[in-house]
């Protein structure tokens, strides 16, 4: 990876960070209808993951915490922001909202309100890719908490049994809402579980850009070439509350973790980038994110018209 390869990723990761901050600010201003689960801390990993994927041949499904993934797969930021704001021009005209982002056109099949609900769907994308011989793969992204859902265990087994080109991705931030993975997850790591099912599995540190890129590339290539499932576990910090506004009284201040984006910047500096260059990239990304979210916030809320159209389509009682 050369410096020139890394800079666009740095820019994208900062775009996502700034996008989330803009959403948080609008949430505080009362402009965001629902509770938002920000991806602060996972941006680097998500950018590295999606750099190895190409929609719509590859299809990613994600959890409730998927703003960053949708953006990293290339969904239009104004449309993503408008969806989170429940406005016209949103991915689904505001019908779905923050936890239900769907941009299959660019390879982000769906995010999900149900923990683990997205995982079998990615197996479906993998089955389509396999059957239709598109060369694509399915990617199921979830948190560590989701690994305790039956549907996730079943899908791990199914993917092995049916030999599906499916990459499982665990973003392990050590927490599910207020509960620690240490308490909730039966002692063994997601990787060890995956290996128990016969999946190839690796671990990456969410602050190590070169490690993330290398490992994701290796696993994605393996899934693509062999048509068999694999799993990657990324250790990422949760730099925010479970949702924006969560006071996190259950968490002590002492558990603060390093910020992957600062680690990314250190990597760039060590590779020869100047502080000014980094600064310029960041300010550009921040300005672009602000412009996108501001544009979305200028849109009207026409979700009443959108739902009225469905009311006549779904065949309920007149």
Partner 1 sequence: MTRMSIRDALNRAHQDLMAADDTIVVIGEDIAGGAGVKGGAELGGVFGVTRGLGAKFGEGRVIDTPISEASFIGMATGAAMTGLKPIVELMFSDFIGVAFDQILNQAAKARFLANGRFDLPLVIRTTMGAGDSSAAMHSQSLYGVLAQIPGLMVACPSTPADAAGLLKAAVGSPDPVVLFEHKGLYGHEGDVADDLPAVPLGKGRLVTEGESATVVALGAMRHAAEAAVTSLEARGISIDLIDPRTIVPLDLTLIANSVKKTGHLVVVDEGTDFGGFADAVISAVARDHFGALKAAPVAVTPPHTPIPYGRAGEHAWLPHADTITAAILALLDMQETA
Using CB under 8 A, list all residues that contact partner 1: 33-35, 86-87, 90, 93-100, 112-117, 145-146, 148-151, 175-186, 248-252, 254-255, 301-304, 306-308, 310-311, 314-317
Footprint on residues 59-118 left by ligand TPP (CB under 6 A): 63-65, 113-115
- Which strands sit side by side in the sheet containing 166-172, from one edge to the other? 108-110, 59-61, 138-143, 166-172, 230-235, 200-205
DSSP 117-151: THHHHHHHHHHHHHHTT-S--EEEEEETGGGGSHH
Q: How many residues bind ligand TPP (CB under 6 A)?
A: 17
Q: 270 CB contacts (<8 Å, ≥6 apart)?
A: none
Picked from partner 1, ligand TPP, none, the partner binding residue 35 (CB below 5 to 8 A depending on kind) is partner 1
Q: CB 313 → partner 1: shortest distance, Å?
A: 8
Nearest residue (CB) to partner 1, 168 versus 264: 168
Picked from partner 1, ligand TPP, none, the partner binding residue 160 (CB below 5 to 8 A depending on kind) is none
Nearest residue (CB) to partner 1, 152 versus 278: 152
Footprint on residues 50-69 left by ligand TPP (CB under 6 A): 63-65
Nearest residue (CB) to ligand TPP, 60 versus 142: 142
- Report the distance separating Cα 155 and Cα 223, nearest Å: 16
| Backbone angle region of 93, left / alpha / beta, with phi > 0 → left and psi within -120 to 50 → alpha | left
- Report the distance separating Cα 193 and Cα 201, nearest Å: 9
* CB distance 281 to 10 below 8 Å: yes
Nearest residue (CB) to partner 1, 219 versus 293: 293
């Amino acid at each position: 990876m050369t410096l020139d390869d890394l800079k666009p990723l740095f820019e994208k990761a900062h775009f996502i960070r700034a996008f989330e901050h803009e959403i948080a600010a609008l949430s505080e201003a009362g402009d965001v209808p629902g509770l938002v689960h920000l991806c602060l801390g996972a941006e680097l990993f998500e950018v590295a993951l999606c750099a190895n994927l190409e929609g719509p041949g590859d299809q990613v499904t994600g959890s409730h915490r998927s703003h960053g993934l949708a953006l990293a797969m290339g969904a239009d930021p104004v449309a993503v922001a408008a969806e989170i704001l429940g406005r016209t021009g949103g991915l689904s005209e505001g019908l779905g909202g923050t936890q239900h982002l769907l941009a299959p056109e660019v390879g982000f099949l769906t995010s999900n309100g149900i923990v683990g609900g997205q995982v079998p769907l990615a197996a479906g994308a993998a089955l389509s890719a396999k059957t239709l011989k598109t060369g694509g793969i399915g990617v199921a992204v979830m948190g560590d908490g989701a690994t305790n859902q039956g549907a996730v265990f079943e899908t791990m087994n199914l993917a092995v049994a049916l030999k599906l080109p499916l990459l499982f991705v665990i973003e392990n931030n050590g927490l599910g809402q207020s509960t620690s993975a240490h308490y909730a997850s039966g002692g063994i790591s997601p990787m060890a579980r995956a290996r128990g099912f016969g999946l190839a599995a690796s671990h990456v540190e969410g602050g190590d850009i070169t490690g993330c890129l290398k490992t994701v590339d290796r696993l994605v290539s393996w899934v693509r070439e062999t048509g068999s499932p694999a799993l990657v576990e990324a250790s990422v910090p949760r730099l925010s509350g479970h949702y924006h506004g969560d006071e996190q009284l259950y968490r002590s201040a002492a558990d603060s973790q390093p910020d992957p984006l600062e680690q990314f910047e250190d990597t760039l500096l060590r590779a020869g980038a100047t502080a000014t260059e980094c600064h310029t990239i960041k300010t550009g990304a921040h300005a672009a994110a602000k412009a996108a979210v501001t544009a979305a916030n200028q849109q009207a809320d026409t979700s009443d018209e959108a739902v009225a159209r469905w009311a006549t389509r779904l065949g309920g009682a007149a």
